[in-house]
């Protein structure tokens, strides 16, 4: 719909899919509200609600976004423990950015016990995931 310039119809279908519980639709709506794209204004609390809905369905990118919003306190109170947990689940689901963010949190002891060894391990896991992804292309 976007390519054909049918923004209104795209928004209606996306919102309907989100209401039916589509994790991908909730992720897209959350992302659009974070960035103020595709006819949506920036609205961080609303973005967080959509992203959290997708995260509860274990959508990896939504989980990573929820982790980032908790980490930065965007649209929600800053909570490093919740950020760490969201990144942890996103990493389990294969999100490479979440793996890198976990490494940083381990290194700095944010939301978890400080551990340089855990940080190094997460960076290794992220690198292996990147290499595997590149090999598939």
pLDDT classification of 4: cutoffs 50, 70, 90: low
CA 93 to chain centre: 11
Q: Which residues contact 65 (CB under 8 A, 6 or more apart)?
A: 27, 30, 31, 34, 51, 55
Q: How far apart are CA 32 and CA 16, in angstroms?
A: 15
pTM for the full predicted model:
0.92
Q: pLDDT tens digits for 47-97?
A: 999 999 999 999 999 999 999 999 999 999 999 999 999 999 999 999 999
pLDDT classification of 2: cutoffs 50, 70, 90: low
> What pLDDT shows up at residue 8?
87
Q: Please, are residues 13 and 2 in contact by the beta-carbon 8 Å criterion? A: no
């Amino acid at each position: 719909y976007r390519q054909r310039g049918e923004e209104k119809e795209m928004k209606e279908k996306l919102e309907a899919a989100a209401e039916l519980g589509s994790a991908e639709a909730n992720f897209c709506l959350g992302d659009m509200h974070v960035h103020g794209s595709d006819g949506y204004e920036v609205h961080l609390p609303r973005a967080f609600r959509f992203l959290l809905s997708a995260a509860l369905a274990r959508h990896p990118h939504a989980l990573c976004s929820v982790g980032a919003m908790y980490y930065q306190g965007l649209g929600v109170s800053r909570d490093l423990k919740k950020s760490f947990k969201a990144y942890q689940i996103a990493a389990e689901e294969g999100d490479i950015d979440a793996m890198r963010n976990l490494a940083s949190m381990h290194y700095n002891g944010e939301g978890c016990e400080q551990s340089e060894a855990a940080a190094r391990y997460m960076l290794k896991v992220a690198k292996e995931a990147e290499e595997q992804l590149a090999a598939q292309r």
